[in-house]
Chain A
């Protein structure tokens, strides 16, 4: 199981780009890197997933270096509504189950200020 490390909290102002970096030094070959977002009083919500290089969707970008020991979630031009907890998860597609549990760490509390 790859343990993840990410900052406990980050602050930003509206309109800025926010980059949250996650370390996962023991990532396995079959592991994907996935980020979830959680607003207060809601369940976590999938944001983006990647295996290597860069992935971009309508919400965020995910940068993964060649060694895959870290990853960076990039949120362009954040707004107040992006205030949430962001979780970096490293999960396997293998180990006999392609549909297994998710391992959540403490996440990063992002607070966006006006």
Chain B
């Protein structure tokens, strides 16, 4: 079974540009999460999809961030326009939809550098 994949692995852009990160969850996982770690900080939750619906987006830092999951499969996270403080590693995770505590499977992350 393939794990969670993320693309690109690295992205270097200039301030003001737009970047789109992609996450492909494990097949059959209805739940998809985005997290990020900025330099020196803890991994922080951004948002949670259940299928194509946003279950919880309270962690999104501001309206420059837009996450989508059309069709309930892969997800994209767009940052527009990017700012210096957006630099960090963005992780995607997925989990099944059954009840109880669900293990989240993480992708390798996308390292975003904004210059």
Contacts and interface: CB of A to CB of B under 8 A. Distances in A.
Interface stretch (A13-21, A62-70, A103-111): A103-111
Contacts of A91: 101
Given A99-B31, A103-B45, A49 B93 contact: no
Interface stretch (B11-19, B61-69, B106-114): B106-114
A98 B100 contact: yes
Contacts of B92: 43
Interface string B76-115: 0000000000000001110101011111111111000000
Interface string A78-109: 00000000000001010001111111111000
B4 interface: yes
B91 A43 contact: yes
A97 to B, nearest CB: 7
A45 interface: yes
A97 B55 CA distance: 9
Interface string A40-52: 0111111001000
A97 B45 CA distance: 15
A42 B59 CA distance: 22
A71 interface: no
B60 interface: no
B103 A46 contact: yes
Given A43-B4, A44-B106, A91-B101, A99 B95 contact: yes
